[in-house]
Amino acid sequence: MQDKKIELLQKQLKKLDAKDFNLNAWKNSSILILERIFGKDSPKIKKIDEIHYDLSSWSMRDTLGTSGLDACKRTGKEILEVCIMELETLGLPEQAEKEVTTDTIDFNVILQALENKLTISQFKELKQILEKEEDKMKKIHDFLMEIGTEVSVHILADIISNQEVARKIQSA
C-alpha cells in the first residue's frame, strides 16, 4: 500500500516536467493525492495550495534568475520529495489510514444548503418530519415535492458545488 502511494507521488513529480504543464491542474491533483495519503488536514496540502504563479513584473524572475513558474515547480518538487521521504522512512500515518476508509462529508455543508434555500417554516417542518420514525422516506419525498423542484434542485446544487464535496466527486 505504501509503495503505491509513493508511486503516485512520483508520477506527480514527473508531471512537473511536462511540456504542457498546468500549475492549477497539478495542484488540484496533488492535493487530492495528499489528502488520501496524509489526511485532509495535513499541512502538506496547505503548502501545495499556497503555491502561486505571480505574473507581476517584480516577480517574473526570482533571485536565482529563474521564472516564477520554475520557482513554483521547484517548491512543488521539494514538497513532494519530502512526502516521499517521510513515507519511505516513517511509513503511512495512522490517522490517514483511518480517514481513507471513512469518506465522509462535513454535515455543515448539508445544513447550510438547507438553511440557505428553505424558509424558516419549511426548515421547521423538515425537522418535524425527521423526528418521526414512521414513513420518513415518503414524508420527505412529499415535502420536497411540496416545496418544489426548483428549491430542491438549488439545495442539491449548493451541496454539490461545495469545494469539499466537488473534490470528493472528482476523485471518485
- pLDDT tens track for 89-105: 988 887 544 444 456 77
- pLDDT tens track for 105-146: 788 889 899 998 999 999 999 999 988 878 889 999 999 999
Q: How far apart are CA 77 and CA 51, in angstroms?
A: 11
